[in-house]
Amino acid sequence: MNLASFQSAEWYQALSLIERLAAFRSCEERPRASETCDDAAEQRVREWREQRPFDQNGYWAQRLSLDGLSEDEFRHLMCESVAAVQERFTSPPEWLAELARAFSLSEQSKDEVFTLPEPLREKPVAGFLTLVEPLIKHGRRQLRAGVLRLTQHYAVMPFDPATVVDVLSINLLPKLLGMMSRTLILELNVARLQNLLEAETPEQRFACFVERLRRTDVALDLLREYAVLARRLNNAVRQWVAFSLEFLEHLCADWEELCAVFSPEAAPGVLVRVQGDAGDAHRDGRAVLIAEFASGFQVAYKPRSLAV
């Protein structure tokens, strides 16, 4: 990773309890919890044990057993510093390495233009997407590469390779916006109170805040502070790329049969719109999609078995 910011231990606060436990158990020498716990850490342990429903009916022991945790191991994980967690990793977690690659490539290709899709251009809050523009561009590059591979494998394309990434991006951006809007509204107010926004009106202050997010140092400082959010945003982009390519490949593979069964009289045309909010997401971001084609023909894509 080339960006120094990604060497910070703060990113490791986004590791799950299971991930931290696995790293802890891989150590040859494990310090005792009593050697690492200070008063604040002990208070965190007590707060966990005393909250409902863990304060009754053996639920606490049951919760620990779900993760295969002993009481002493849990105490240690609550007490150790994030720097100690980082030291156990010989290389960064894949999600962190991917995040670093996205920002590194963005630094190398600042001339790459990203334009908001039409439905979002009238929403001022869409400016918050500036924070993760490097991630969005990285995901779009990966999707374009996958589309190129499909064009080399299938003779007939039910979509336009030049526009399909834009068509599919419409489903990703509102999701990212929803994930981070509350946090950025809070940070906008913090920046205002710290007199970091040199503007007089609310609209001007918002524009100033969005412009600050274009600075790599500001964006990474914020993402590092909210490491769990940063990881979730990275995962959302990764899942979008994987699911989009899965959908397109199935569409290509089934296209001849789809046309023969559902549109035998006229060609459906190329894919022009994909509605991704037709059902709840599951299995790494998969969801029911409604695909619309140039002729108005629509088909539903359900990414799991239709069996009862």
Find residue 298's DSSP bridge partners.
292
Residue 101 falls within a domain, yes or no? no
pLDDT on residue 32: 57
* 234: Cα within 13 Å, side-chain hemisphere: 21
Inter-helix orientation angle 227-262/94-108, to 10°? 80
Q: Which domain-ending residue is among 75, 91, 107?
A: 91
pLDDT on residue 1: 45
Residue 306 falls within a domain, yes or no? no
Both 83 and 154 in a single domain?
Answer: no
Average confidence score pLDDT of the chain = 89
Residue 99 falls within a domain, yes or no? no
Residue 175 falls within a domain, yes or no? yes
Both 161 and 279 in a single domain?
Answer: yes
Both 34 and 148 in a single domain?
Answer: no
Both 259 and 193 in a single domain?
Answer: yes
pLDDT digits (tens, 9 = 90+) for 56-104: 888 999 999 998 888 888 888 888 889 999 999 989 999 999 999 999 9
Transcribe the chain into DSSP letters. Answer: ---GGGG-GGGGGG--HHHHHHHHHT-SS---HHHH--HHHHHHHHHHHHSTTTTSTTHHHHHHHHTT--HHHHHHHHHS-HHHHHHT-SS--HHHHHHHHHHHHHHHTTT------HHHHT-GGGGGGGGGHHHHHHHHHHHHHHHHHHHHH-SS-SS-TTTHHHHHHHHHHHHHHHHHHHHHHHHHHHHHHTT----SSHHHHHHHHHHHHTSHHHHHHHHHHTHHHHHHHHHHHHHHHHHHHHHHHHHHHHHHHHHHHH-SSS---SEEEEE--SS--BTTTB--EEEEETTS-EEEE-SS----
> Looking at the predicted structure, is the pLDDT value of residue 168 above 80?
yes
Residue 103 falls within a domain, yes or no? no
- Considering the chain, what percentage of its residues have pLDDT values greater than 90? 65
**From CA 245, how far away is CA 254, in angstroms rounded?**
14
How far, rounded to the nearest angstrom, does the alpha carbon of residue 181 sit from its chain's CA centroid? 14
Residue 249 falls within a domain, yes or no? yes
**From CA 298, how far away is CA 290, in angstroms rounded?**
7
What's the domain range around 176? 118-301
Both 86 and 138 in a single domain?
Answer: no
pLDDT on residue 308: 44
pLDDT on residue 119: 79
Both 14 and 52 in a single domain?
Answer: yes
Residue 107 falls within a domain, yes or no? no
pLDDT on residue 247: 96
When divided into structural domains, the chain yields a total of 2
Both 71 and 181 in a single domain?
Answer: no
Both 43 and 128 in a single domain?
Answer: no
Both 146 and 250 in a single domain?
Answer: yes
Task: Give pTM, 2 decimals.
Answer: 0.89
Both 29 and 164 in a single domain?
Answer: no
Taking residue 244's Cβ as centre, other Cβ atoms within 10 Å add up to 26
Do the bridges between strand 271-275 and strand 298-301 make them parallel or antiparallel, or are there none, so unpaired? unpaired
pLDDT on residue 287: 80
pLDDT on residue 208: 96
Higher pLDDT, 131 or 303: 131
pLDDT on residue 246: 95
Q: Give Cα separations from 152 to 156, 174, 252 (angstroms).
A: 10, 31, 12
Taking residue 301's Cβ as centre, other Cβ atoms within 10 Å add up to 18
> Looking at the predicted structure, is the pLDDT value of residue 277 above 80?
no
**From CA 198, how far away is CA 201, in angstroms rounded?**
10
> Looking at the predicted structure, is the pLDDT value of residue 9 above 50?
yes
pLDDT on residue 73: 87
Residue 22 falls within a domain, yes or no? yes
Both 122 and 176 in a single domain?
Answer: yes
pLDDT digits (tens, 9 = 90+) for 218-251: 999 999 999 999 999 999 999 999 999 999 999 9
* Minimum mean pLDDT range among 28-32, 45-49, 69-73, 291-295: 28-32
Both 79 and 134 in a single domain?
Answer: no
How far, rounded to the nearest angstrom, does the alpha carbon of residue 268 sit from its chain's CA centroid? 33
pLDDT-derived band at 149 (thresholds 50, 70, 90) equals very high
- Considering the chain, what percentage of its residues have pLDDT values greater than 70? 90
